[in-house]
């Protein structure tokens, strides 16, 4: 199965940012300093990658078969997301019933219905699932837009989202004070991150046809983009500056980084690092790492498994178990069904988007 270069490495960096951002607040961790919003920035990177991958997948299907199968898409997403997620959800529910964790029933309900991103004051052990809820809401909407409006119409909508969401964040802050905590977690206040990835996938070939863009992407001037990513993630002058300026700057700069490192996987040391097998392997574990880290990296935890360094060891052990015993078997079912349908329905043919993974292992974060 052909994979897009560097994306597993980018997922690895994203999940490591999340892990470190949570780890520094746990008991026994030797360094005491701010995480500088690492976890939040890591999640935003995941959202951009998600929009990019899913759009690539759908455009590839449209190019190869002339249509997008919504049923096939949702089946693949269910097999990708549900097994590992509901395993985690059941474990947390059982621990809560046994009195080992304090998780309100309403939070468990909102978590299992992918609506917890609209709940303020989420309990820790399911609080991180807000980002998975955002992903699921994206899955519900974006393929429908591509089918109903076609790629051109859908990308116009994505462009509108890119422009409108930043002022929507400001408007929500001033007009709906009760939902201030939901800014950047509620779908309508964070969708510009995902829309950035969608637009990158849709405009990627057009951008490459522009000589100035090609020159920029392969020149030293490109390095302003990762510098802007770091700068934008550190802007904390005022929340409204962050919502209106820093997040869009982060999104667009990160999209440039994704485009460069997926096109040129051997051009610079960063690209080589992203494609280094140990880092890429961490990227394949990113979904399970995302799910299980919350149980062990609890800043208020008093159980022995929440103390450093045992907590991070437990995170990786559970992630490995989840990946090999839950994720991989269901991924095999998804891939085999996808291959069987292609064999039965259409003859093999070269695809227009040869760099796209027809069924990528999407990092969901959250």
pLDDT by residue (tens digit) across 275-324?
Answer: 999 999 999 999 999 999 999 999 988 888 999 999 999 999 999 999 99
Confidence of residue 352 (pLDDT cuts 50, 70, 90): very low
pLDDT by residue (tens digit) across 88-117?
Answer: 999 999 999 999 999 999 999 999 999 999
Confidence of residue 238 (pLDDT cuts 50, 70, 90): confident
Confidence of residue 133 (pLDDT cuts 50, 70, 90): very high
pLDDT by residue (tens digit) across 36-49?
Answer: 578 889 999 999 99
How far apart CA 275 and CA 8 sit, in angstroms, is 8
Q: Are 169 and 184 in contact (CB under 8 A)?
A: yes
The ranges assigned to domains in the chain are 7-345
120 contact partners, CB below 8 Å, separation of at least 6: 179, 181, 182
Q: Is the pLDDT score of 82 beyond 70?
A: yes
Q: So what's the pLDDT on residue 39?
A: 86
Q: So what's the pLDDT on residue 351?
A: 31
Q: So what's the pLDDT on residue 32?
A: 62
Q: So what's the pLDDT on residue 29?
A: 86
Three-class DSSP labels, 84-147: HHHHHHHHHHHHHHCCCCCCCHHHHHHHHCCCHHHCCCCCHHHHCCHHHHHHHHHHHHHHHHHH
C-beta contacts of 105-114 below 8 A and 24+ residues apart: 112/86
The whole-number average pLDDT for the span 167-182 is 93
Q: Hey, CA dihedral for 14, 15, 20, 22, is it positive or negative?
A: positive
Confidence of residue 360 (pLDDT cuts 50, 70, 90): very low
Confidence of residue 366 (pLDDT cuts 50, 70, 90): very low
The whole-number average pLDDT for the span 122-128 is 94
Q: So what's the pLDDT on residue 135?
A: 97
**Mean pLDDT of the residues in the chain:** 89
Phi, psi of 27, rounded to the nearest 5 degrees? -70, 135
Q: Are 358 and 59 in contact (CB under 8 A)?
A: no
Cis peptide upstream of residue 302 (ω within 30 degrees of 0): no
Q: What is the pTM of this model?
A: 0.89
Confidence of residue 28 (pLDDT cuts 50, 70, 90): confident
């Amino acid at each position: 199965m052909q994979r897009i270069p560097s994306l597993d490495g980018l997922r690895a960096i994203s999940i490591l940012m999340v892990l470190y951002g949570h780890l520094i607040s746990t008991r026994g961790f030797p360094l005491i300093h701010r995480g500088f919003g690492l976890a939040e920035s890591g999640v935003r990177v995941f959202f951009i990658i998600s929009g990019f991958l899913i759009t690539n997948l759908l455009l590839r299907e449209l190019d190869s078969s002339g249509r997008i199968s919504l049923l096939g898409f949702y089946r693949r997403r269910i097999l990708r997301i549900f097994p590992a997620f509901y395993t985690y959800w059941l474990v947390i529910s059982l621990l809560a019933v046994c009195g080992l964790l304090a998780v309100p029933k309403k939070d468990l309900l909102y978590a299992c219905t992918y609506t917890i991103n609209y709940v303020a004051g989420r309990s820790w052990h399911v609080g991180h699932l807000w980002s998975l809820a955002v992903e699921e809401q994206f899955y519900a909407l974006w393929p429908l837009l591509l089918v109903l409006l076609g790629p051109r119409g859908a990308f116009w909508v994505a462009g509108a989202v890119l422009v409108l969401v930043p002022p929507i964040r400001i408007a929500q802050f001033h007009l709906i004070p009760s939902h201030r905590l939901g800014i950047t977690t509620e779908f309508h206040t964070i969708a510009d991150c995902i829309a950035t990835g969608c637009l990158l996938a849709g405009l990627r070939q057009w951008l490459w046809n522009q000589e100035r863009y090609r020159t920029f992407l392969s020149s030293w001037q490109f390095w302003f983009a990762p510098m802007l990513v770091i700068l934008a993630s550190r802007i904390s002058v005022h929340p409204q500056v962050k919502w209106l300026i820093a997040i869009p700057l982060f999104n667009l700069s990160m999209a440039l980084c994704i485009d460069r490192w997926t096109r040129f996987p051997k051009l610079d040391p960063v690209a080589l690092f992203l494609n280094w097998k140990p880092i890429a392997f961490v990227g394949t574990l990113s979904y399970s790492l995302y799910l299980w880290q919350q149980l062990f990296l609890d800043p208020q935890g008093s159980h022995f498994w929440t103390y450093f360094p045992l907590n991070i060891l437990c995170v990786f052990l559970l992630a490995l178990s989840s990946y090999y015993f839950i994720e991989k078997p269901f991924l095999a079912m998804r891939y085999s069904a996808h291959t069987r349908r292609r064999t039965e329905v259409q003859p093999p043919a070269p695809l227009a988007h040869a760099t796209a993974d027809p069924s990528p292992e999407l990092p969901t974060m959250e």
